[in-house]
Structure formats: C-alpha cells, structure tokens
Structure 1
C-alpha cells in the first residue's frame, strides 16, 4: 500500500490526518519534526507527504524543499499560516497543495485523491500493467489467465515502483534510495542488473509493457498493450 508521511508537532493533528488517510488505504508514518521526517524519507520510500510549517528542529519550508530533491511526490502543507505570501512561498518551494488550520478532513481526503490521480499513484495493493497485475500484498505476479509467478523481492519492488508511476522517469540514484535505501553499499549498476532480469522475465510481447532506458538519466516503464 502507498505510504504517507505525516509531519506535525501537534499529536491531535497527526491523529486526525492518520485516521482519515488510513481509511483511504495508506500506510501511515508519523513524525513530530522536519529533521526526523527527512531522516526517514532518506532511507524509505514515501508516496505522499503531509507536513506542517511551524515545527521544531526543521520547519516545513525547509523540509518541503529537501523532499523535492528526492524527486516527485505529492506534498500537502497544513498550517495555521493562511496569508497569501505564505502560500506563494510554499508553492515556490514545491508544495502541491495547501490547507489552513482548522481544516475539514473530508476536504483533505478529496485533495489527496486529486493529487494521487495527478501523480498516477494507486492506493490499492494491486496494479495492472498490460497483460498482468502486481499484487503487493502477496508479492505475486498475476497473469490474465490466472497463473501466478513469484520473483525476487527486490525485482518485485523495482517493477512495482516503475509500474505504479508508469511513464515517469526514475534515475538510478533515486531507485537505489527508494528500493535499497541510502545505507546500501553497492553501486548503481545493481539497478541495471535488476532491470535486465526484469526485461528477460517479462518480454514486451507477452507482458504488454516495456522498461525504457533514457541514456544518461535512468529508466521509465511504458505500458504498450491496448
């Protein structure tokens, strides 16, 4: 399931946001300040960030800017600051949306859903790619005829990441960080090896998708089946 990082020093706000996002299928990670949130995001895949502005150790402005360095992910700021200049500043730093406290949790959910649609992020554990589906709850590849296949976990996670953001470019560095973690001691060629194995396991003619190499940049998955 997609993971939401909820960052706020107010436990009541975190509890409220977590309650509603869990109902939408999110795995919730709560942090009380920007520094802890950044440390988590550096070593774990995050699909959505909901962050406050006024926090100890690192405020939401700085956290938003640093999260953007990891690549594209939906970011929503929830704050007591409602002035126009604050909103403009937030958008310049890379936030996708902005809610002012007190806010309606239902409105938050609607805004999250709109961002997920824009980013093409599925809240289901199952995504469909061409002629097969990936079931993350069981780590199974399921074909249209009902047959299943099990592949190594890192290959599955890599394919699921690329497939969940079909059409989006991922650098090797980003894939290493999000799949293997920043403490991984290998090099970026690990990604190339896993991509080669995935291409061998899932030829385009049979799977209905292909993994494209963007020379000097990275990879993206393209669904080709109609």
Structure 2
C-alpha cells in the first residue's frame, strides 16, 4: 500500500501538479464562490429595495420558508436537538478525516486519479450535510450579506467545497481543511441542546472561552503545517522568471 502511494506521489501526473502549484484551482474556486454569493445577495437586496413586487414576493417566501429552518436552530425543540447532534457528528467526522489525512497522506494525494479513496467519499457526504446547515443558517439570518461575509461562512466556503474540487481535479490537496477547527466557536450552542444540568450558564461561558482558544490554536497549527509542507508558493514563479 505504501509503495503504491509513493508511486502515485512520484508519477508524472503528480510531479506536474507539484511543479505547477496545484493549489490554484482551489483558490480560484473559493474566490468565485464567495464573489458569486456576495453578488447574488447584493442583487436580491437591490431588487427588494427597488421593486415593490419583488419585495412582496421575497417577504412571502421568507414567511413560509424561514419558520421551517428556524426549527433547526431551536435547541429546545426535538428537531433542533437532532440537528445539533448531527452537525456535531459530521463536523467531528470532517475534523477526524482531516487529522488522519494530514498525518498519512502527502500534500498532494494523486491516488484518487485511479480510484476514489474512502476518506474522500466520507468527507464529501459529511460536507453535503454541513452545506445544508450553512444554507439554512444563511436563510434564517436577518442580515444575509453580513452572514455571508462572517467567519463561519468563510470557513464553510474554504472547507466544505474542498472534496468536490478534489473529485473534479483528480487529485487532493491538503488545503485549508484545518480552518474547520474554527467551528469550535459554535460548541457552546451545542451545549444548549443538552439537559439543563449540563448547559448551565457558567458551563456555557467556560465552554465558549475554551472552545475558541482551542479552535484558534488548532487551526493555526494546521495552517503552519500546510505552509511548512508547501514551501514558498512563489518559488515556481521566481524560477520561471529566472529561466526566462
């Protein structure tokens, strides 16, 4: 198995990816997703303020859709408890896969060009549910543009789109997966779905402080590891300019 992985990492396909800085398709996709979402929300906001008919249609749609998604984020309802539990499970799954992948796979994993590994399939399924959660959070937000440019939405864009890009490109870059640790900022909200003996005010405050510290610490460590493994991203550009 190890020999096969080494062979994949030293194949002409994988060598060309490393030589040509294979992270750029991911960076372009992140930028396009963020810009498209921001422009779409801005356009909807503009049409709502200009067109009375469009504003009325938007208000009618919100009155029917938003209450349904509000149940997902109500920690006191059974729907909310199930949703928070599933969100915890899928986020934990994503983080576990990221830790395993960073310790056992190379920076650029080219083995998926031959067959899709199990870890990427599980990561894709986890991302699907978390994308639904992110969309629901955006729909229920009072100020959707502010929600779109918030930290957690940016984390979703940088992490949840990652496995889909890998499947399309035919190789998997370690990437910005470590930013998923910042989801721990929401850990205190999960406690509110637990029994009252666990989610007391003092415990929630302590959990909020501790989870934010751990989230920043682990995500920073992951980004440092990425930079150490990647080297200087402008080396290839400098080499091309020198050779020219």
Task: Tell me, yes or no, whether TM beats 0.5.
Answer: no
The structure where helix makes up a greater share of residues is: 2
The structure where strand makes up a greater share of residues is: 1
Which structure exhibits the higher relative contact order, with contacts defined as CA atoms closer than 8 Å and separated by 6 or more residues? 2
Q: Which has the larger radius of gyration?
A: 2
Structure 2-normalised TM-score? Answer: 0.24
